[in-house]
Amino acid sequence: MPDPLQRVAAATPPKLAHQIRGLSDRTIAWLFVAPTIFLLLAVNIFPLIWTIRLSLTNFRTNRPNNAVEWVGIENYRKILTNPDTWASLQATAHFLVWTITLQVLIGFTLAYLINKKFRTNDLWTTLIVLPMMLSPAVVGNFWTFLYQPQIGLFNYFIAFLTGTDPASFSMIGEVALAPWAIVIVDTWMWTPFVMLICLAGLRSIPPSIYEAAECDRASKWRQFWTITLPMALPFLMLAVLFRGIENFKMFDLVVQLTGGGPGATTQLTSIDLKREAFEKWRTGYASAYAVILFVTVFGLASIYVKALNKVKDR
C-alpha cells in the first residue's frame, strides 16, 4: 500500500506541486497564520477603530435617521468634566482596591497552607475552588438571597457574632454597606483563582533551596521572607494583573446584587457605560467613555507589566 502522503503528492498537478516546492518556510508559516490574524483584526481592531470614529460624533442608535454631526473631542470633554463619571470611577477604585487586597491576602494564605502536604489536601483544594466554577448570575442570585434582612443567613450569622438584630440592617439596601456586599461576594468567588496561581508559584520553588537554608539554620520565618515570598512574588503580581483587569470591567455580578444602587453607590464604570449606551442611547458619548476606559486599563496594565518583567528578571 502506498503511503497516504505519496498518494496526495501523486494526485497534485505538476504545476501546483512546483509552486508549493518553491515556497519558503516563512511563506508557508504565514499561509497558516494569516486566517487567524485576519480573524483577530476583524473581531478586535475593526470594532476599536469604529468605536473611536463614533466617539467623535453625536450618533444615537435609537435615532438612525438623524443627521450625524462631527463633534470632535466634545464627548471626551463632557465625560472628563462630569462629576458622575468621577463618582463611578471612585466606586470602581474602592471595589478594585479592596477585592484585590483581600483576594491576594486570603488566596496566598490558602495556597501556603495547601502547599503543606496533609491527608485531605486534595479534598480541601476541590472544595475551595468550587465558587469560581459557578456562573456570576448564579452567584449573584444566591448571595442576594443570603443578604435578605428577614430570612438571609448572612444577617443571622452577623447577628450571632455581634448580637445585633438580623432585621436591623440590609447589606444590599444601605448606602454604607452595599459596596462591601459586592466586595465580599467577589472575594468569595475569585479568591480560589488567586490561590491556584499562588499555589503554582509555591510549587515551582525547588526544594533544594529550602534544604540549603535549613543547613544554614535559617528559621521558618526567615525562609518565608527570603525564599518563599520573593520567588512567589511574580505569580502574586500576575494574579493581581488578571484580577485587576477583570474587576475593572465587572458588570454582571454587581447588576445581580445591587443594580448599581442604592442610588449610585455601587454604580461602577461598566454599569455607567451600559446606561449611557443602552438606556440613554447616547452612542457617541458612550463610545468616547469606552475609549477612555480602554486607554486607562491599557496604560495601567502596560506600566504594571513592565514592573512585573523587572521582578521576573531579578
pTM to 2 decimal places: 0.84
Model confidence at 10: pLDDT above 80: no
pLDDT tens across 171-227, in order? 888 888 999 999 999 999 999 999 999 999 999 889 888 888 888 888 889 988 999
How far is it between the farthest Cα atoms of the chain? 88
Question: What cell was used for 108?
Answer: 496566598
**pLDDT given for residue 1 in this prediction:** 42
pLDDT at 262 over 60: yes
Is residue 218 a contact partner of residue 282, using CB atoms and an 8 Å limit? Answer: no
Q: What mean pLDDT is predicted for residues 286-296?
A: 93
Confidence of residue 23 (pLDDT cuts 50, 70, 90): low
- pLDDT over 70, % of the chain: 92
Residue 232 has pLDDT above 80, yes or no: yes
- pLDDT band of 124, cuts 50, 70, 90: confident
pLDDT at 72: 87
| Residue 83: exposure state from Cβ atoms within 10 A (0-12, 13-18, ≥19) | exposed
What value does the mean pLDDT take over residues 57-65? 85
User: What burial letters (b/e) apply to 170-206, b meaning 16+ CB within 10 Å?
Assistant: bbbeeeebbbebbbbbbbbbbbbbbbbbbbebbeeee
- 18-46 average pLDDT score: 76
Q: Please report where in the chains the cell 454587581 appears, as a residue.
A: 254
Q: Directed axis angle between helix 283-312 and helix 229-248, to 10°?
A: 180
Which run of H or E residues covers position 7? helix 4-11
3-class SS string, 89-151: HHHHHHHHHHHHHHHHHHHHHHHHHHCCCCCCHHHHHHHHHCHHHCCHHHHHHHHHHHCCCCC
Average pLDDT estimate for 231-246: 93
Contact criterion met (CB below 8 Å) for 218 and 226: yes
Confidence of residue 119 (pLDDT cuts 50, 70, 90): confident
Average pLDDT for residues 246-265, to the nearest whole number? 88
Q: Could you tell me which residue, 66 or 291, shows the higher pLDDT?
A: 291
Question: pLDDT above 90 covers what percent of the chain?
Answer: 43
Mean pLDDT for the stretch of residues 43-71: 87
Question: What pLDDT band is residue 16 in, cutting at 50, 70 and 90?
Answer: low
Instruction: Give residue 136's pLDDT.
Output: 87
What would the mean pLDDT of 128-155 be, rounded to a whole number?
88
- Whose grid coordinates read 473631542? 73
Averaged pLDDT for residues 87-100 = 94
